Amino acid sequence: MKRLIVAALFAGVGSQAHAIGRLADVSIIDRDTGCVIATHYYRGEYWIAGRPGARYAIAIRNHLGERLLAVTAVDGVNVISGDTASWDQTGYVFAPRENYQITGWRKSNAEVAAFEFAAAPDSYAARTGRGGNLGVIGVALFRERAPSPPQAEAQAVGPPWAGLNAPAPAAPAAAAMDRAARSALGEQLGTGHGEREASSVVQTDFERLQSSPSEVIRLRYDSLENLLAMGVIRQPLPVRPTPEPFPASPLARYVPDPP
Handedness of CA 128, 132, 134, 139 (dihedral sign): negative
User: In which band, very low, low, confident or very high, does the pLDDT at 249 lie, cut at 50, 70 and 90?
Assistant: confident
Q: Is residue 176 part of a domain?
A: yes
Q: Is the pLDDT at 180 greater than 70, yes or no? A: no
Can you tell me whether residue 180 is helix, strand or coil? helix
Q: Is residue 257 part of a domain?
A: no
Domain extent at residue 65: 2-230
Q: Is residue 241 part of a domain?
A: no
What's the predicted TM-score (pTM) here?
Answer: 0.76
Res 202: pLDDT = 79
Q: Is the pLDDT at 2 greater than 50, yes or no? A: no
Q: Which residues of 7-31 are buried (b: 16+ CB within 10 A; e: fewer)?
A: bebeeebeeeebbbbebbbbbbbbb
Res 154: pLDDT = 32
Res 5: pLDDT = 42
User: In which band, very low, low, confident or very high, does the pLDDT at 172 lie, cut at 50, 70 and 90?
Assistant: very low
Q: Is residue 246 part of a domain?
A: no
Between 204 and 159, the higher pLDDT residue: 204
Q: Is residue 259 part of a domain?
A: no
Residue 78 near residue 71, CB atoms below 8 Å: yes
Q: Is residue 256 part of a domain?
A: no
Domain count, the chain: 1
Residue 67 near residue 157, CB atoms below 8 Å: no
- The residue-averaged pLDDT of 212-232 equals 95
Angle CA 216–182–114, to nearest 5: 55
Residue from 94, 93, 76 nearest 85 by CA:
76
Q: Is residue 119 part of a domain?
A: yes
Task: Please state, in angstroms and rounded to a whole number, the distance separating the CA atoms of residues 68 and 144.
Answer: 6
Q: What is the DSSP string of 130-148?
A: -GGG-SEEEEEEEEBPPPS
Burial of 223 (0-12, 13-18, 19+ CB in 10 A): buried
Q: Is residue 173 part of a domain?
A: yes
Q: Is the pLDDT at 196 greater than 80, yes or no? A: yes
**Longest CA–CA separation in the chain, Å:** 92
- The residue-averaged pLDDT of 204-225 equals 94
